Amino acid sequence: MGATLSRLYQLFSHEDRLLILIDADPDSIASALALKRLLWRRVAACVISPIRPITRPQNERLVELLGISLTPYPEVNPGEFNRKALVDNQPGHHETFGAYQYDVIIDHHPRLPETAARFVDIRADYGANSSIMTEYLRAARIKPSLKLATALYYGITTDTANFERPAIEADVRAFHYLFKFTRRALVRSLEYAEFNISMLKYFQLAFSRYRLRHQRFFAFLGTVSTPDILVILADFFLRAHEISWTIVGGIYEDKLVVIFRNDGLRKNAGALALKAFGKLGPAGGHATSARAEVPLAHIPDLAPNAQWQLWQSFIIHRVEGRGR
């Protein structure tokens, strides 16, 4: 790990200005914080910029409670930064990411063919990117602050679903290392901020609309105020004993967003998402969690305001291989 850290440090000089782009969730926020700490006093400036507004309650709570400084992408002039980095993401994950060339990419998702940078560290077997960044900090002999340790600790717990999703020994080691630098009360405050009152209407919709087919839970919610509610509901309904898959969809802005979750027993959510929607738009993910984002223009046979039953049937047919 020491040699890898040295290669990372050699990329930067004191005159550099670094922009770290993220699609904000606890793991990516924590990873960006760790990279910024690693490069403290090694670069002239370092800005962390989420490409989309932060709307999910747990992310808002993380930023507010820990006092994390983020600059929204619309407020950033990328041309002012001669160095750019991605953590917990790759250029092919979002069109905004794909618009730039990168000096650093550190990720734990499966490597995409077009992923390239001066420094690339991708470890698809890791359950959380925060685990990778914790190893960098330890190699640099940097003791994490309470804020940084809590963010990394929470990043690991959320991305591994408290180790219910696939993880490796390195994730466990990072988790135990960070534990002594955190405060349980602080972590608990983050864990209790999963959703807000305004999201309860979507729970009601999911309860009234769901279909269960061969242990697969399907629900289409129509237009949603944030795609984060799709993730929350997909995780929530997976707790039911009779359900081994959850596929929850909705329309956000000009895209159909579909979230996939499963129980991890000989299943591959990323492969299913890609097979079902890969020809229509970006799709993929991990064995137990995946996402598809399909531009509505790629689905000309369905209007955004079409009956929810038609959209739900469309998703079911794609997933079951009857609509390709």
Q: How do residues 239-293 score in pLDDT, each as one tens digit? A: 999 999 999 999 999 999 999 999 988 899 999 999 999 999 999 988 889 999 9
Q: Exposed/middle/buried for 265, CB within 10 Å: 0-12, 13-18, 19+?
A: exposed
Show the DSSP H helices in 91-168 as ranges: 129-139, 146-159
Confidence (pLDDT) at 323? 62
Distance from C-alpha of 39 to C-alpha of 5, rounded to nearest angstrom: 11
> Beta-carbon neighbour count of residue 90 at 10 Å?
22
> What is the CATH class of 2-191?
alpha beta
Note the CATH number of domain 200-319.
3.10.310.30
Distance from C-alpha of 139 to C-alpha of 220, rounded to nearest angstrom: 46
Instruction: List the domain boundaries for the chain.
Output: 2-191, 200-319
pTM of the full structure: 0.71
Residues of the chain with pLDDT under 50: none
Confidence (pLDDT) at 322? 74
Distance from C-alpha of 243 to C-alpha of 109, rounded to nearest angstrom: 25
Confidence (pLDDT) at 287? 85
